[in-house]
Every structure is written in C-alpha cells, then in structure tokens.
C-alpha cells in the first residue's frame, strides 16, 4: 500500500512539473483552438464560436472566393454586400499553431490567422483572389457600420470589437444584421476585440490600420512564466519580428520592401519592460522623438526623424501601447525600454510575478522536487 501511494505521488508530481503552471495537459484537438484569450472551432466551411475571454462574439466566419461563390449559383455576380447573408465557406483546416497564434488554411488562396493577444485579433487574408466573407454574429451581438472600411460590433456580454478592411475592400452590416465583406486580391479583413470596452484611442488606432498608415502590430506579453511575442502584419511586403532582449527591453524589427514610412502599434506588458512609468524608444540605435498626438505621429511618418507615442492603458491591465512611427524603411529596429529595470512586475492576471499560470497557489517546480524526494524516501524505506 505504501509503495503504491508513493508511486502515485511521483506520477502526480511529474505531471505537475511537466505541464506549465501545474495544470493537467488536455488532449489535443486538431479542429479546435483554445488560447489564453481566444478560442474557436474549425469546421469544414467556417471558423465557429469565436470567443474572446470566454465571451462568444460571433458564431461563424465563412470565406469563399468570389469566382467559386458566383459559379456555384448561390451568389449572383451583381449581389450587393447587404444582400450577402449566406455563404458556405471552402475547405477550412487548422494548419498550425504557435504560442500566441493559430493559422487556418482556406481552400484556394485565402487564409485566416487568430492572434491570442489582448485584442483577440482575427485576420482574414484574401491572397491572390477576390474573396467574400460573412461573419454571423451571436444572437446577443449587434453591428453598426461606421464607414465602408469599418463595422463596430457589441456582444451581449459587453465585449466590443471592430471589423476593419485593409486595402481596397468593403465591409458592411447585411440585411440579417450580420457582417459581410468583399476583399479584392491582396487585402485583409481584420477583427479587433475590446473586452473592456472600445475607447477613442482604439478608434484612432483602427483609423491608422484602415488608412494603411499602420504596417502592423506587435505584442509582448506574459504567458506561463515567460514573455512571448506576437506580430500582426497589415502592410504588403512587410515582415515584423519582436523579442525581449533584456530584463527591461523589447526589440521590434520591421522590414519593408518599400521606403515609405509606417507606424507599428506595439503593446508591451509590465513583465516585458520592467515598468510602464518611464518608457523610451530608440530607432536603429538613435533616440526617437516622443510626440503627444496621433496627428504628430502621422506627420513623423513623412518627416525627417522617427517618433513614438506612449498611451497607458488601465492600471489593472498592466499594459501600455507604444506607437512607433518609422520615417522610412527598408529594415528598421525599435528598442522599447524602461528606465526602471528593477521595477517589480505582476502577471497578466494580477498575480505576484511568479509566472504561475494556474493550479495550486505556489505549487511550482521547487515544491514538486521536494515531494518527489519524499516519495523516493518512502520507497527506499519500504
């Protein structure tokens, strides 16, 4: 009996050490994704039950090439976006996952990428062909068209969001109260969620994205005791990458085939930069100028020097937006750092900075090792 109990303890301790945060590993499912913020299912013809912070924002998102939709007879060539209410998508599959994103392949040239960051971003890319997109909202959600390139959404649970077209496409609220879009080749439909409500700052960032001023977004955030990064690319022929290069520095690299300046929207957590109270930015080794408004930020894109602007989020979120205006390309690097590298940090969930992502409080590797040793002694004495 004593031997069986000791062996059971060893098995439990090994499981706790092997899985981050002491959580029990769930069986894999190649048709579903469940991240820290975003979750959804992948069906053969749609991404279903797209939820942000466990609140479903839309029931499904379908994508189909314009040529296939019209040749099938389900959509006429002269259909208006408002009348586009029913769309059976083409051959979807969950193709790959990273620590902070999931990529969904769509038959043809289109694709969808979900980003497990603070805004729960979903990007629908048209690829080489024109695409139709229909997002069926949940029964408690409602939509409102702000322009041909933006539609705002509010769920019954209080999560707000916006669909934004990047490129020459159009998006609207259809006759069923859902969201329909038409995307020409090389364009994107972006969904951005706001679990704590949509602010004027959020709207300003949406306008940067819709106007093509924003090349993309970067997120540096705490996950399972480590800082991970996520990049969202909006500009054509643009590559973004990011990494934490020191205790209080996040380095963002933007590479573009054209020299035209762009803005990169960066969201950094307290864990990534040490402190949010005194952030500074260097671009390609030189100090960038700090500006105080979106108009000055946009002016810097065409100016003589790069600039940045810091927008603090609520204290509870322990995050800040750092918008960097690169005044030219091709390859530029921005280093975002804090003057207070010894500042105490907290986890995203408001913890003590220990990196625990769940399970029993304080039950980390050290405790597990002690328990393993105790179990081993019990076996020896037996």
What DSSP line would sit under 62-128, residue for residue?
Answer: EEEEHHHHHHTTSS-TT--GGG---------EEEEE-SSEEEEE-SSS-EEEEE-STT--EEEE-TT
Q: Which residue has the higher pLDDT, 104 or 79?
A: 104
CA distance 137 to 262: 33
CA distance 276 to 334: 17
Which helix (H) or strand (E) segment is 369 a member of?
Answer: helix 365-381
3 state DSSP class of 246: strand
CA distance 38 to 36: 6
What pLDDT score was predicted for residue 73?
76
Dihedrals phi, psi of 279, to nearest 5 degrees: -90, 145
- In the chain, domain spans: 31-211, 212-358
Task: Look up the CATH architecture of domain 212-358.
Answer: Sandwich (2.60)
pLDDT band, residue 340 (cuts 50/70/90) = low
pLDDT digits (tens, 9 = 90+) for 314-333: 666 789 999 999 999 989 99
CA distance 376 to 276: 46
Window from 224-233, 289-298, 303-312, 341-350 with minimum mean pLDDT? 341-350
370: Cβ contacts below 8 Å, ≥ 6 apart: none
pLDDT at 26 > cutoff 60 = no
* CA nearest neighbour of 158 among 142, 145, 169, 178: 142
| pLDDT cut 90: percent of the chain above it | 69
User: What count of Cα atoms within 13 Å lies in the side-chain half-sphere of residue 119?
Assistant: 29
Is residue 233 within 8 A of residue 239, CB to CB? The reply is yes
CA distance 317 to 241: 23
CA distance 275 to 344: 8
Q: Do 31-211 and 212-358 share a fold?
A: no
pLDDT digits (tens, 9 = 90+) for 135-164: 999 888 999 999 999 999 998 888 999 999
- Report CA torsion sign: 9, 15, 20, 25: negative
CA distance 193 to 179: 15
Query: Token match 């098995």: residue?
Result: 11
Is residue 243 within 8 A of residue 229, CB to CB? The reply is yes
Mean pLDDT, the chain, rounded, equals: 83
CA distance 156 to 162: 15
- Structure-block tokens of residue 28: 């894999």
Is residue 11 within 8 A of residue 5, CB to CB? The reply is no
- Structure-block tokens of residue 258: 């054209």
205: Cβ contacts below 8 Å, ≥ 6 apart: 214, 265, 321, 323
What pLDDT score was predicted for residue 79?
84
User: What count of Cα atoms within 13 Å lies in the side-chain half-sphere of residue 41?
Assistant: 8
3 state DSSP class of 208: helix
CA distance 244 to 101: 18
What pLDDT score was predicted for residue 365?
40
| pLDDT cut 70: percent of the chain above it | 80
Query: Which of 2.60.40, 1.20.1530, 3.30.200, 2.70.98 is the CATH number of 31-211?
Result: 2.70.98
pLDDT band, residue 126 (cuts 50/70/90) = very high
What pLDDT score was predicted for residue 250?
97
Window from 275-284, 306-315, 326-335 with minimum mean pLDDT? 306-315
Other Cβ atoms within 10 Å of 200 Cβ, number: 8
- Structure-block tokens of residue 35: 């991240």
- Structure-block tokens of residue 333: 């690097």
Dihedrals phi, psi of 354, to nearest 5 degrees: -75, -15
Dihedrals phi, psi of 36, to nearest 5 degrees: -70, -30
- The DSSP code sequence of 300-316 is HHTSSS-EEEEEE--TT
């Amino acid at each position: 009996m004593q031997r069986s109990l000791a062996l059971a303890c060893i098995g439990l301790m090994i499981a706790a050490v092997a899985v981050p945060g002491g959580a029990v590993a769930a069986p894999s499912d190649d048709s579903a994704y469940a991240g820290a913020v975003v979750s959804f299912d992948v069906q053969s013809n749609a991404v279903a039950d797209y939820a942000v912070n466990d609140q479903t924002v839309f029931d499904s998102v379908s994508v189909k090439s314009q040529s296939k939709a019209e040749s099938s007879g389900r959509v006429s060539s002269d259909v208006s976006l408002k009348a586009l209410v029913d769309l059976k998508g083409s051959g979807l599959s969950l193709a790959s996952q990273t620590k902070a994103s999931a990529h969904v392949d769509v038959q043809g040239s289109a694709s969808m990428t979900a980003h497990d960051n603070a805004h729960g971003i979903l990007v629908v890319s048209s690829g080489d062909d024109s695409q139709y997109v229909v997002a069926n909202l949940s029964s408690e959600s409602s939509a409102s068209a702000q322009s041909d390139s933006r539609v705002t959404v509010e769920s019954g649970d209080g999560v707000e969001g916006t669909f934004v077209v990047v490129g020459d496409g159009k998006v609207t609220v259809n006759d069923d109260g859902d969201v329909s879009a038409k995307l020409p080749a090389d364009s994107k439909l972006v969904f951005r969620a706001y679990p704590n409500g949509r602010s004027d700052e959020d709207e300003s960032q949406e306008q940067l994205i819709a106007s093509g001023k924003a090349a993309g977004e970067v997120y540096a955030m705490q996950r399972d005791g480590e800082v991970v990064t996520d990049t969202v690319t909006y500009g054509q022929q643009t590559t973004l990458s990011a990494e934490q290069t020191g205790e209080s520095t996040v380095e963002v690299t933007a590479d573009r085939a054209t020299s035209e300046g762009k803005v990169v929207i960066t969201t950094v957590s307290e864990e990534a930069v040490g402190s949010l109270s005194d952030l500074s930015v260097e671009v390609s080794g030189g100090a960038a100028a700090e500006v105080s408004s979106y108009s000055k930020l946009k002016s810097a894109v065409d100016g003589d020097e790069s600039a940045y602007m810091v927008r603090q989020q609520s204290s509870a979120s322990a995050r800040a937006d750092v918008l960097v205006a690169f005044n030219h390309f091709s390859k530029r690097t921005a280093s975002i750092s804090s003057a207070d590298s010894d500042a105490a940090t907290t986890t995203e969930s408001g913890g003590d900075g220990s990196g625990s992502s769940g399970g029993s409080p304080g039950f980390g590797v050290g405790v597990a090792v002690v328990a393993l040793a105790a179990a081993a002694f019990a076996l020896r004495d037996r």
